[in-house]
């Protein structure tokens, strides 16, 4: 029989076709000619006649060749062959499908592939859910606290206004406002449509059983219209409220109406006794109203601010009030500030004769409320993002290793016509499927994480009730899910589709070039993970170190048997009171305080008791210049410090040790005396002996004296746990006292039972004295340290996760490398390499990666830690010990992570390894 | 027997209709055309093969190699979903064409 394929091959000249495709055409045509030949034989023709009859089927070979070449068949016959084979094996083919059907096929195929690798899928989904879930939880906090608009009408137009005096910058970049200055702004500035003044106050609610302490706010009438809120019942204050002699009215919060008045439907018009005033309830606020958190305590009631000649006097003093204002449309904050600055300059010039300058500070209200949280929250967000990046890098390595087994599949797909991006799309679909599964589980993780975060949030964190999983957070989750899929999916997909098709089809596994490039990418990913980890760990350690210093600096306050209670002892004076009236009221207040102190001191178990105007760590008190007679300085150069007013028993009650001299005692009642803190002696008096020097005490309520003699130096205290010690001068109560004085009691008794007895002792002296929540020093310390502990705990958690993931990634890469290099190791051992040489080889590989990663990470950390310098205490942002410690710790852990696979490499049997090849 | 142009124009239609019921290989298609047309339409291999290539280009048919026991492998062609729709449309066009031509040339039978 004629060789028909040979006949076709000789006659059909197809130029430019690939060998395999031409072969297919030849085979088919040869087969058809053979069929024609066989049929001719069956008809009875002789072999030569049959051959001629068959040959007549194709007369013009060149025309046939041209037609076949023009067709895609001629170009892609091999593709169809492979496509058919692939279809037979159930491999998803990529032919002429629409985008939608192609995507559906990709999804179905991706799910099938993931189902076939349950271990990989579970690990990937779990780690993704943790990484995405953590980010979602933290972003929920960022969104609720920082990003979400305030719940008021046109919140972007609301601003908080403060004052700043450059010469008194020691008191901070923002001071509360003087009442008279506020009135001047209202009269003279045009940039704001309305302004309101707010004063933090408190009163005893009397006549309803035991006196209840209520936190309130004295406000000017415009407040509620500025915030865009109206009482749910009754009305807001009239514009006449608060002007000298205005009505005594009060508006309750919904919560107070519930807790004290049990939702009494006839509440409006009722008269209640708040302190020494009878107040008529004119309104109840809606249940969803949240007052901006700019006061130390959320107010439970609102009363009209009572102007007096003292509070309405403009000047550089009595900075006691908050101001909220609504910017007029058409004005910018800068223009508004410029107007206020002009007014401030005039007031400062008039009041101080040019010795002091004064500016207005105009801050968006949201920033006023949440500004202190910004740095901490963004740092947490960065830490969470770094952890997610490490998760993605780990998964990219896993996917890379997995993809090396699918090189042949990729080659088949490419051979039957799938473009590179089409194949990449398939792989990315698989990673998207993983990421979506991880993202859905992440929502559960986030919900749980959020519950824990909110439940354990320190009291001072603002807008905690705004933290929730809303549509913004869900969109964020979706975005990072897709981003994660692209990060850990795209790179390995691009890598695996880059090889040469023919080599991949020919070989039984990945080619040498594919292996080498894959190994390089895996190494790069591990270096990136270690770098991210090394960037995060120094920040974590610096925060831990700061916390340790804070705890150390304040450990003297870790006392459970020292109980404090803030008491407001108000002795009423008439509006037309004279100086003698004020002195009488002052003496009466001191008598009450002394009486309370005596009754408490004799209680069983009480070791000591005393009063102070400000307990340590409860913020600042009376800020003033500490002016020494012996060191005369111009007013604007006098050191800014704090005046506190205490009874003699206070120091031993609170546990403040004397450093030099002695405390003032009752015997000093006829003497103007003062005790100063160590910082004052060190920073103001320097080498001079502090005892016997004199401090200016000329502007107090009590008996008038110009200079008070220093009789002692006590240990330092702080306004907040992580701030530097204050410059404090302690004056005796008989020289001056404040409206709020804190009782401090040191007792041997159990604090709970001691508290009951202390309350009874106070009420026996004054039955109308309401007592806000008592606290121990330990409670005060804990709540002060709580925000820092909270933040540090979270950063530590993220850093530990990052370190664990990075080391797991390192272990996985080194272990995989040992598996891949089994043959090489076998050859080395066969050629005489010792086990220790192999150990050094593998360990060296791992250590090299870590060294590079650590170097990059530390360099990055040097920049990052500088940004968080304000969060640190007792340690610098570039503390060398911390950075060295991180590098050393990472190296040690890395060696440990590499040791197991390295040890496994030394156990390779060279005969087995060589035989497998 | 028929005009070359007529044959050429109907070749694709014929091929598609013959593989509608089941896949067939190239030579089989040519023989079936000849048999059903009682020899009036014949396609040589050299003419039919390029048409099969074109149809495959347009995704109207799909070819695959099939190996049966004791035989050399052959390339069978089947109708694709797109081809099925195309064939249905062509049938409609053909029926209408025939009707229209008849209307013109045999008005008494219209």
The DSSP line for A535-547 is HHHHHHHHHHHHH
Q: Do residues A227 and A369 make contact, with C-beta atoms less than 8 angstroms apart?
A: no
- Which chain A residues touch B64 with a CB distance below 8 Å? 80, 84
Query: Best interface-test mutation with B: which of A8, A32, A37, A98 has the largest number of B CBs within 10 A?
Result: A32
Q: What is the pLDDT of residues A799-810, one digit of tens each?
A: 888 888 888 888
In this complex, is the C-beta atom of B75 within 8 Å of any C-beta atom belonging to chain A? yes
pLDDT reported for residue B110: 43
The reply to whether residue B65 touches residue A31, judged by beta carbons under 8 angstroms, is: no
The reply to whether residue B72 touches residue A68, judged by beta carbons under 8 angstroms, is: no
- Which chain B residues touch A84 with a CB distance below 8 Å? 64-65
In this complex, is the C-beta atom of A320 within 8 Å of any C-beta atom belonging to chain B? no
Q: Do residues A531 and A424 make contact, with C-beta atoms less than 8 angstroms apart?
A: no
- Statement: residue A92 has pLDDT above 50: no
Q: Alpha-carbon distance A741 to A760, whole Å? A: 18
The reply to whether residue B26 touches residue A28, judged by beta carbons under 8 angstroms, is: yes
- Statement: residue A329 has pLDDT above 90: yes
The reply to whether residue B65 touches residue A57, judged by beta carbons under 8 angstroms, is: no
Query: Best interface-test mutation with B: which of A5, A11, A27, A31 has the largest number of B CBs within 10 A?
Result: A31
Residue A654, H or E segment: helix A650-654
Number of Cβ atoms within 10 Å of the Cβ of A648: 21
Query: Three-state SS for A720?
Result: coil
B 1-30: CB under 8 A from A: 25-28
Ranking A461-465, A500-504, B28-32 by mean pLDDT, the lowest is A500-504
DSSP string across A899-910? HHHHHHHHT--H
> What's the first-to-final CA gap in chain A, in angstroms?
45
Query: Three-state SS for A793?
Result: helix
The mean pLDDT value of chain A amounts to: 85
Higher local confidence (pLDDT), A517 or B100: B100
pLDDT reported for residue A910: 73
pLDDT band at A289 (very low <50, low <70, confident <90, very high): very high
Give every CB contact of residue A898 below 8 A, 6+ residues apart in sequence.
A810, A811, A814, A842, A843, A845, A846, A847
pLDDT band at A901 (very low <50, low <70, confident <90, very high): confident
Question: Could you tell me which chain A residue has the CA closest to the CA of B65?
Answer: A81
The reply to whether residue A68 touches residue B50, judged by beta carbons under 8 angstroms, is: yes
Ranking A27-41, A499-513, A734-748 by mean pLDDT, the lowest is A499-513
Q: Alpha-carbon distance B61 to A268, whole Å? A: 87
pLDDT reported for residue A461: 82
pLDDT reported for residue A91: 46
- Which chain B residues touch A39 with a CB distance below 8 Å? 31
> What's the first-to-final CA gap in chain B, in angstroms?
27
Cα A2–chain centre separation: 83
Q: Give the mean model confidence (pLDDT) for residues A322-349.
A: 95
CB-closest option in A31, A57, A74 to B72? A31
pLDDT reported for residue A251: 96
In this complex, is the C-beta atom of B34 within 8 Å of any C-beta atom belonging to chain A? no
What ipTM was estimated for this complex?
0.89
Query: Three-state SS for A610?
Result: strand
Q: What is the pLDDT of residues A483-523, one digit of tens each?
A: 888 888 887 788 777 655 555 555 544 444 456 767 787 88
Q: Alpha-carbon distance A450 to A134, whole Å? A: 9
Pairs of CB atoms within 8 A across A/B? 66
DSSP string across A810-842? HHHHHHHHHHHTHHHHHHHHHTT--HHHHHHHH
Percent of chain A at pLDDT > 90 equals 36
Ranking A205-214, A326-335, A646-655, A741-750 by mean pLDDT, the lowest is A205-214
Q: Alpha-carbon distance A281 to A260, whole Å? A: 13
* Pairing verdict, β A271-274 and A277-284: antiparallel
Task: Tell me the nearest-neighbour CA distance from B95 into chain A, angstroms.
Answer: 30
Q: Give the mean model confidence (pLDDT) for residues A127-141.
A: 91
Task: Tell me the nearest-neighbour CA distance from B25 into chain A, angstroms.
Answer: 9
Task: Tell me the nearest-neighbour CA distance from A107 into chain B, angstroms.
Answer: 22
- Which chain A residues touch B63 with a CB distance below 8 Å? 73, 80
Q: What is the pLDDT of residues A355-370, one digit of tens each?
A: 899 999 999 999 999 8
């Amino acid at each position: 029989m004629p060789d028909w394929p040979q006949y076709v091959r000789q006659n059909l000249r197809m130029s430019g076709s690939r060998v395999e495709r031409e072969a297919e055409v030849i085979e088919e045509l040869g087969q058809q000619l053979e069929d024609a030949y066989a049929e001719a034989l069956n008809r009875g023709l002789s072999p030569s006649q049959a051959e001629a009859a068959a040959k007549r089927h194709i007369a013009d070979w060149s025309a046939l060749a041209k037609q076949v070449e023009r067709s895609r068949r001629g170009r892609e016959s091999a593709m169809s062959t492979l496509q058919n084979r692939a279809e037979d094996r159930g491999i998803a083919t990529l032919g002429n499908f629409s985008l939608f059907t192609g995507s559906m096929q990709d999804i179905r195929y991706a799910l099938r592939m993931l189902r076939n690798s349950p271990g990989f899928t579970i690990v990937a989904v779990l780690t993704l859910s943790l990484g995405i879930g953590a980010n979602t939880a933290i972003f929920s906090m960022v969104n609720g606290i920082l990003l979400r608009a305030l719940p008021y009408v046109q919140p972007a137009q609301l601003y908080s206004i403060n004052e700043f005096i450059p010469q008194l910058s020691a008191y901070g970049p923002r001071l509360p406002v003087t009442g008279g200055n506020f009135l001047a702004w209202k009269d003279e500035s045009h940039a704001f449509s309305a302004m309101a003044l707010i004063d933090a106050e408190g009163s005893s609610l009397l006549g309803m059983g035991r006196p209840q302490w209520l936190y309130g706010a004295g406000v000017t009438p415009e407040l509620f219209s500025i915030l865009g809120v109206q009482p749910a019942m009754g009305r807001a204050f009239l514009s006449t409220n608060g002007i000298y002699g205005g009505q005594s009215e009060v508006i309750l919060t919904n919560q107070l109406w519930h807790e004290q008045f049990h939702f009494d439907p006839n509440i409006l018009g009722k008269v209640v006794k708040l302190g020494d005033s009878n107040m008529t309830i004119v309104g109840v606020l809606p249940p969803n109203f949240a007052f901006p958190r700019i006061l130390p305590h959320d107010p439970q009631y609102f009363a009209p601010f009572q102007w007096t000649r003292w509070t309405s006097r403009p000047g550089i003093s009595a900075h006691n009030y908050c101001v909220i204002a609504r910017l007029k449309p058409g004005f910018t904050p800068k223009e508004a500030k410029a107007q206020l600055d002009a007014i401030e300059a005039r007031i400062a010039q008039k009041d101080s004769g040019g010795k002091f300058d004064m500016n207005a500070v105009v801050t968006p209200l949201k920033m006023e409320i949440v500004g202190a949280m910004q740095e901490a929250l963004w740092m947490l967000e960065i830490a969470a993002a770094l952890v997610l990046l490490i998760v993605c890098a780990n998964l990219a390595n896993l996917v890379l290793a997995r993809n090396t087994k699918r090189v042949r599949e990729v080659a088949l797909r490419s051979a039957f016509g799938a473009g590179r991006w089409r194949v990449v799309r398939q792989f990315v679909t698989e990673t998207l499927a993983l990421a979506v599964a991880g993202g859905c589980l992440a929502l559960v993780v986030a919900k749980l994480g959020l519950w824990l975060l909110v439940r354990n949030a320190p009291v001072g964190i603002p807008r905690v009730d705004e933290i929730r999983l809303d549509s913004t957070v869900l969109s964020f989750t979706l975005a990072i899910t897709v981003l994660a899929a692209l990060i850990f999916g795209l790179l390995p997909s691009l890598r695996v589709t880059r090889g040469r098709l023919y080599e991949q089809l020919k070989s039984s596994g990945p080619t040498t070039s594919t292996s080498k490039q894959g190994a390089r990418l895996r190494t790069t990913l591990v270096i990136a993970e270690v770098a991210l980890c090394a960037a995060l760990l120094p920040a974590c350690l610096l925060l831990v170190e700061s916390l340790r210093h804070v705890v150390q600096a304040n450990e003297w306050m870790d006392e459970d048997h020292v109980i404090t209670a803030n008491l407001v002892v108000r002795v009423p004076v008439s509006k037309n009171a004279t100086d003698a009236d004020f002195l009488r009221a002052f003496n009466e207040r001191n008598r009450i305080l002394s009486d309370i102190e005596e009754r408490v001191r004799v209680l069983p178990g009480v070791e000591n008791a005393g009063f102070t105007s400000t307990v340590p760590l409860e913020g600042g008190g009376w800020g003033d210049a500490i002016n020494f007679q012996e060191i005369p300085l111009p007013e604007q150069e006098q050191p800014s410090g704090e005046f506190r007013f205490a009874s003699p028993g206070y120091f031993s009650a609170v546990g403040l040790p004397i450093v030099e001299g002695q405390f003032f005692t009752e015997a000093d009642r006829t003497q103007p005396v003062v005790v100063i803190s160590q910082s004052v002696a060190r920073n103001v008096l320097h080498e001079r002996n502090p005892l016997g020097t004199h401090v200016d005490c000329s502007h107090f309520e009590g008996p008038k004296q110009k200079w008070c003699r220093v009789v002692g130096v006590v240990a330092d205290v702080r306004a907040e746990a992580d701030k530097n010690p204050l410059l404090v001068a302690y004056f005796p109560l008989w020289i001056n006292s404040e409206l709020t004085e804190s009782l401090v009691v040191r007792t041997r008794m159990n604090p709970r039972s001691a508290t009951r007895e202390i309350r009874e002792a106070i009420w026996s002296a004054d039955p109308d004295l309401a007592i806000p929540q008592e606290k121990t020093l330990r409670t005060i310390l804990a709540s002060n340290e709580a925000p820092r502990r909270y933040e540090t705990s979270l950063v530590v958690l993220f850093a530990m996760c990052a370190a664990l993931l990075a080391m797991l990634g390192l272990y996985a890469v080194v272990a995989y490398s040992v598996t891949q290099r089994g043959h090489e190791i076998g050859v080395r051992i066969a050629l005489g390499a010792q086990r220790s040489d192999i150990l050094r080889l593998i360990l060296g590989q791992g250590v090299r990666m870590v060294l590079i990663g650590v170097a990059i990470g530390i360099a990055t950390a040097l920049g990052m830690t500088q940004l968080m310098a304000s969060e640190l205490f007792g340690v610098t942002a570039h503390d060398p010990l911390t950075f060295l410690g991180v590098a050393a710790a990472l190296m040690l852990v890395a060696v440990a992570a590499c040791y197991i696979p390295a040890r496994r490499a030394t156990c390779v049997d060279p005969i087995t390894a060589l035989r497998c090849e | 027997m028929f005009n070359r142009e007529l044959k050429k124009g109907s070749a694709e239609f014929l091929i598609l209709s013959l593989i509608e019921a089941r896949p067939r290989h190239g030579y089989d298609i040519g023989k079936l055309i000849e048999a059903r047309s009682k020899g009036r339409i014949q396609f040589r291999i050299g003419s039919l093969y390029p048409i099969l290539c074109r149809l495959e280009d347009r995704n109207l048919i799909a070819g695959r190699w099939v190996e049966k026991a004791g035989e050399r492998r052959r390339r069978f062609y089947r109708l694709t979903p797109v081809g099925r729709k195309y064939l249905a449309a062509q049938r409609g066009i053909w029926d209408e064409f025939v009707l229209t031509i008849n209307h013109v040339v045999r008005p008494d039978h219209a």
